[in-house]
Structure 1
Amino acid sequence: MDIFNQLVDTETFDKVHFMYEIVLILFAVKIAGHISKKLGQPAVMGELLIGVILGPSLLGWLEITPLIEELAEIGVILLMFLAGLETDIDEFKKTAYGSSLVAVNGVILPFIGGFLIGLLFDLSVTTSIFMGTLLVATSVSISVQTLRELGKMQSKEGVTILGAAVLDDVLGIIILSVVIGFAGGESGSVMDIVILVLKILTFFFLVVIVGRFVLPPLFKWGKRLLTTEVILTFGIVCALGFAFSAEMFGLAGIVGSYFAGLMLSLTKFNHELFEKVETISFSFFVPIFFVSIGLIANVAGINASNLLLIVALTIVAILTKLVGGAIGARIAGFSNRSSLGIGSGMIARGEVGLIVGTIGLSKGLISDELFTTTVVIVLATTLVTPPLLKLFFTDTKNGSKTVSK
């Protein structure tokens, strides 16, 4: 260390250390994605695992920092913005019934499963209810990338997963608000829920109004500005602006960015936007998001005392979403294989699960140990999603993509 201090100005090193972190992340994530593809798995699988390898769980070369968190947040927002741009809105409307069934079943089963596991392990009723609420969360950002790699983003199954995820997020936020309200003994909690529902409905109303009547003329005007890359800039402004608005109205930012893309998919600028946003996203921001998921987890710090609880909750988290989503899809008329694929797409908890866990910790609904359990569940469900999607959306006989029935 003394030699290092003599050779390097440590003050300068501390100032520019973030450059080393970004270089390491971007280089490692592309190599890991390549290896994953060589092994027959989606690239995102390796990109997630490299975060675990480089993070505190194994090598300890990287740790989550405010800069990485913020860049990762932009990454997931742009990823969902691209998903919106890719979505066929006519197909989106057609799958509304199936998406609703998938979402509702994917909420009921995980909630009951998490609650019962909590009681089984002698957690309090309030904490058990919160564990059920935690398992309700869904983040399809990882599923979106996997579906894109498999060429299923615009399929009926892919659109159903996206539609179900939006409804799942709304239901999850409402359930979380109810749990926090009653756990805190707030007399106005029922009214708070009513206000929350009204805020959510207002948000979707404003999305349609702005998307239909404000964005098209805004982009036409921007096209005439005498400066460079106006359409790309306006697209990013919309993605971040809609994400910010969604957060202010009580929803996850990724819901806002997805609907920003969905509204812009109706304009003549959608193809130009998609190509340019895809380049900037997957060359910088999205890789940082994938790695950040692995960096958050420190599986090396798991205590043997709560290992059984972690295993039980993880199994329940995976199976209840898989089965719940599959049942809803099967009722909606999908084939068995497609139904299981749709259920698989709902498994990952991702950043939404982490947000719910953080809220529970801040409100005193779960302990620090249970928050660690939450992080492990998020990591496990996120890692299992890509290979399951590949399994159910690929014909194992000849490797071709399955066709919806």
Structure 2
Amino acid sequence: MHNEIIMIALVLAAAAAGGKLASRFGYPTILGELIAGILLGPPLLGLISGNEALEILGEFGVLLMMLYIGMHLQLRDLRRASMPGLMAAFGGFIVPTALGIVLMLWFDRTLLEAIFVGLAMGVTSLATKSRILVDLKILDTRIAHVLVAAALISDVAVLVAFASIIGPGTEGGISLATAGIAGIKAIGFGFVALIIGRWGLPRLSRLPGIADPDRGRALLAVIAFGLTMAWAAELAGIHAILGAFVAGLFIDTGVMTAKASREVQQRLATVSVGTLAPVFFVTAGFEVSLGVFQTDLLLLVLVIVVATVAKVVGTALFYLPTGLGWREGIVLGTGMNGRGAVEIIVAEIALAQGIIDTEVFSILVFMAIFTTATVPVLLTIGVNWLRRRGELVRAGDRTNTVIVGAGPIARTFAKLLAETTPVVLIDPNRANQRAAAKDGLRVISGSGFEEATLMEAGVDQAARLIAATPNAEANLLSVQLASELGVPEVVSLLRESDLKTFEGQLRGSGIEVIHAPESLADWEHAIATGGATVTRFRVNPEPGEENGLVAGESFPIVVVGSNDTFPLTTGVSLADTDQVIVLTRKDSPHVEPTVARPA
């Protein structure tokens, strides 16, 4: 018993260290957890190993993780797919899957192994790309919407196929008959789940105290429902992970309030993704065989290469009929190349059931690691390529900009951004409200960190929220709440001293920062009294044209691009044709220009 406890502690520590290191380099935590299991576990150093307690914790964590993923995605996300998302999903799934099956059969592997590897090559990890979409500041673009929708469709299709195939009775092999039976079971379970989710849960939620329960009781009720659906899936001959996932899909704002749903998701994410599921991924690393680099090196290399090329080419080919351009199709393919949690989960289960051997499992793990590692690099190159060509298109039903604050700086942002997008300001100060109204701006009275006020300002239709008050803490509270409410791009005005104070809070948060001068109050006064002017500078000026800022006396705030006007945040990439809008004090001395070159 004591040995099991200390081993659980060591595995949790390894998961935390590996996940943090992976996040620091911009990769999903699952990669760090897998690598930690390989390096510290039996495959290499042998410092930690598995036991029955770890196996139970890991399996429980995976079920909760699938429940959380289902809650986080929601069925309504499928509506964003439209034709482009469907075509990208089909191309990115069908081509790699077909080529993967052919490749494995060519190497004389069994049909079941070939199907597993093919489906694994068709997987697109949704979690893998969420962080990079934030880092590239493209959450409100068409490519991001299509990418997320395509990944969702692909993941659901692969999950259903995997869960059906690895259900009870498949250990001895698979045939057209067993595949057909598995498909019928999956459809039957889906139909029953649909009745429960769309008819039973909404009626249950109308009972007193159910729609808005206390936080602890709500979390327990959600977990109980998820485990019940997982059990029902097992009874239907489908793996429990599909039952937990489907349960999460049906728990939406029609069952509980939006606030209660967010709180449950946050707590569920902490328990599953943050605590228990990492145990599963670290121990999955224990099962990897490094001998595959000697015995099956050619197959491993071919699987990785074919998976990558087929994903990119397949996505681009199927995307052509949408008429949105082959370049966008290629960039989508690079973004869809990552594999992740779903693949590792089903591969580990298949290994445990004896459907695949250690060598095939190891190939799938290393494919997940190598292909996922390409996503940040290739997607960054592709997005910058589209941006330089002016082909990075904003899209979706979110078009508004909400600005928290209506002081002089906030009003300046509003007037500049209002040229290309509807803008609404939020401020409790009556003087600021009157000044904004005088400038012809719409302003809501209230606080930016109150949900009711944000909803009144139309945050559910906002593509961007900018917190531009002189109060750093209020700014951060506002952007954090906006992010929870689903605003794709959240931006906060912060000084250098604020960055140091809130460094831990900002790391990995996805919050973009407008670097403000320390003398923010002086700038507010200068703008209010007419002591500051607005000037435009080209990033790449014509010969003889001045390009620059006045050192220490300038405040760059906005970028005017070929397709959009957006706040100038730290680390933003600038095209040669972009213009930077700068606030400059009228009484400032002229010095050498200092506008930064494109990042």
TM-score (norm 2): 0.53
Could you list the runs of 5+ residues in structure 1 that have no partner in the other structure?
1-14
Name the structure 1 match of 2:114.
132
CA contact (8 A) 1:87 1:159 kept: no
Cα distance in 2 for residues equivalent to 1:347 and 1:146: 7
Q: Mapping of 1:1-400 within 5 angstroms?
A: 15-95=1-81, 97-98=83-84, 100-102=86-88, 104-118=90-104, 120-121=106-107, 123=108, 127-138=109-120, 143-150=125-132, 156=145, 157-171=147-161, 190=177, 192-219=178-205, 221=207, 223=209, 229-266=216-253, 267=255, 268=257, 269-299=260-290, 301-302=291-292, 304-329=294-319, 331=321, 333=324, 335-336=328-329, 338-345=331-338, 349-357=343-351, 361=354, 371-394=357-380
| Pairwise CA distance, 1:322 | 4.7
| Pairwise CA distance, 1:357 | 5.0
Look up the SS of the partner of 1:37 in the other structure. helix
Look up the SS of the partner of 2:42 in the other structure. coil
Cα distance in 1 for residues equivalent to 2:321 and 2:60: 36
Look up the SS of the partner of 1:74 in the other structure. helix
- Are the structure 2 counterparts of residues 385 and 228 from structure 1 closer, same or farther at C-alpha, using a change threshold of 3 Å? same
What percentage of residue pairs aligned between the two structures are identical? 24
CA contact (8 A) 2:128 2:338 kept: no
Cα distance in 2 for residues equivalent to 1:107 and 1:140: 4
- Are the structure 2 counterparts of residues 132 and 108 from structure 1 closer, same or farther at C-alpha, using a change threshold of 3 Å? farther
| Pairwise CA distance, 1:120 | 4.2
| Pairwise CA distance, 1:26 | 1.8
Cα distance in 2 for residues equivalent to 1:347 and 1:33: 14
- 1:390 maps to a residue whose letter is P
- Are the structure 2 counterparts of residues 355 and 40 from structure 1 closer, same or farther at C-alpha, using a change threshold of 3 Å? closer
Cα distance in 2 for residues equivalent to 1:329 and 1:80: 29
| Pairwise CA distance, 1:276 | 1.7
| Pairwise CA distance, 1:376 | 1.3
Cα distance in 1 for residues equivalent to 2:123 and 2:106: 32
CA contact (8 A) 2:57 2:280 kept: yes
Cα distance in 1 for residues equivalent to 2:6 and 2:93: 41
Give me the CA root mean square deviation: 3.9
CA contact (8 A) 2:164 2:186 kept: no
- Are the structure 2 counterparts of residues 20 and 212 from structure 1 closer, same or farther at C-alpha, using a change threshold of 3 Å? same
CA contact (8 A) 1:137 1:353 kept: no
Cα distance in 2 for residues equivalent to 1:52 and 1:24: 14
TM-score (norm 1): 0.75
Cα distance in 1 for residues equivalent to 2:16 and 2:190: 37
| Pairwise CA distance, 1:129 | 3.2
CA contact (8 A) 2:100 2:303 kept: yes
| Pairwise CA distance, 1:257 | 2.3
| Pairwise CA distance, 1:32 | 2.3
| Pairwise CA distance, 1:277 | 0.9
CA contact (8 A) 2:30 2:340 kept: no
Cα distance in 2 for residues equivalent to 1:234 and 1:134: 34
- Which structure is higher in helix share? 1
Cα distance in 1 for residues equivalent to 2:229 and 2:349: 19
Q: Deviations over 1:281-309 (max 9, x none)?
A: 2442122133123122131x447343333
- Which structure is higher in strand share? 2
Cα distance in 2 for residues equivalent to 1:295 and 1:233: 31
| Pairwise CA distance, 1:111 | 4.4
- Are the structure 2 counterparts of residues 41 and 340 from structure 1 closer, same or farther at C-alpha, using a change threshold of 3 Å? same
| Pairwise CA distance, 1:169 | 3.3
- Are the structure 2 counterparts of residues 49 and 217 from structure 1 closer, same or farther at C-alpha, using a change threshold of 3 Å? same
Q: Deviations over 1:373-395 (max 9, x none)?
A: 21211211221344333235546
Look up the SS of the partner of 2:266 in the other structure. helix
Computing the radius of gyration over CA atoms, which structure comes out larger, 1 or 2? 2
